[in-house]
Structure 1
Amino acid sequence: MPRRFRTPRRTSLAVAAAAGVGASVLVAAPALAHGYTSDPPSRALLCKQGAVTNCGPIQWEPQSTEGPKGFPQSGPADGTICAAGDSRWAPLDDPRGGTWPATRVSSGPYTFTWHLTAAHATTSFRYFITRDGWDPARPLTRAQLDPAPFLQVDYGGTRPPYDVAHSGTLPAKRGRHMILAVWDIADTGNAFYQCSDVDFG
């Protein structure tokens, strides 16, 4: 007995048409900004490289730690800063008992680098560091950071290159610390957050 094929209803055709239009819009939309710090390497990059395991999906998307901008007045909640407030990247907020690999650094001149997988109009790149006496065995909070960035590079809405370098000066510190790099996007409500563990010795 031959199979009968039903003629699609008008509503089904309308839904299919709408889906096709949506797909076209998604394809045509400009790429969103993404990027990660490569020097000092961020926790996200260490996960991508396999230097740290049990990271969850951030190992495939180290460039995607995107959250609300306006830090420190607003932005990700305390304890979720390294993951940019996104629960998918929560392993980045886990202090692992203070055992994340730390890059050896010294106070003084330092060149900070980012690798961008999608550039975007930029307000600034800002770099914060933890206070003396902070607890590396606890998730990062605003109270653990020096209140002002030790380095800020303004872009005035221009688009940075895909590999970015910023020359600055690391403040006088001792022992383990964390550097929080914040990339503020000019034409969206978001920023990118990258946490790097460092050791001043």
Structure 2
Amino acid sequence: MNTKRKLAAGLGAACAPLLVLASVTPVSAHGYINSPPSRQAQCAAGTVSCGEIKWEPQSVEGPKGLRSCSGGNARFRELDDDSKGWKVSDVSRSQQFTWRLTAPHRTSTWQYFVDGQKVKEINDNGRQPPTTVTHTVDFGGLSGRHKMLAVWNIYDTANAFYACVDINIR
């Protein structure tokens, strides 16, 4: 075999594993609200004792259309327990909420619900967000203590990410 063929064969053998790695699909999107602190952010910070979610606050993923803090994920069912002693954040009637995205993914919509009623929806039309996303939510005439559910609907999967924030609207 001549030198050029040996070099080409060697490069081909060396690059084959890289081609396999490049074709592996990356992990799906992950994210949660970190400001004001969501229930999973409180778990991660040790503010509330919670189980497995402490290590994976970004992993509250489930099928689109759910209305639970755990996203229907049994591993994180503690997030659905309203009596767990969640820290309540004082917020204004127009409040910013910041998501921390550890693996941004193309986004369909962002939805915000207070006590089960949708108060805001943002259509991202399939755009891929940056690693930090902030939305301003107007609570209108609401006041007092509430549980807000935020939903990040992924564009090209059947799943969404869920985050609950316990709030006191001033």
| Residue 141 (structure 2) pairs with residue 156 (structure 1) | no
1:119 pairs with one of 78, 83, 104: 104
Structure 1 segments unaligned to the other structure (5+ residues): 1-23, 131-144
Aligned partner of 1:129 in structure 2 is 114
Task: Report the counterpart of residue 8 of structure 2 in structure 1.
Answer: none
The runs of at least 4 aligned residues of structure 1 exceeding 6 Å deviation read none
User: How many residue pairs are counted as aligned between the two chains?
Assistant: 152
**When the two structures are superposed, what TM-score results if normalisation uses the length of structure 2?**
0.82
Structure 2 residue aligned with 1:31 = 27
- The structure with the greater share of residues assigned to strand is 2
| Partner AA of 2:113 in structure 1 | F
TM-score by length of 1: 0.70
- Residues 142-174 of structure 1 show CA distances to partners (whole Å, capped at 9, x for unaligned) of xxx12xx21111110010000001123123223
Q: Is the alpha carbon distance of 1:25 and 1:85 closer, same or farther for their aligned partners in structure 2, counting shifts above 3 Å? A: farther
Q: Specify which of 66, 86, 93 is matched with residue 61 of structure 2.
A: 66
Q: Is 1:56 aligned with 2:51?
A: yes
Q: Residue 26 and residue 60 in structure 1: after superposition, are their counterparts in 2 closer, same or farther (change >3 A)?
A: farther
Identity of aligned residues (%): 42
Matched residues in 2 for 1:166 and 1:106: separation? 14
Paired position in structure 1 for 2:143: 174
RMSD, aligned α-carbons: 2.0
Unaligned runs of 5+ in 2: 1-19
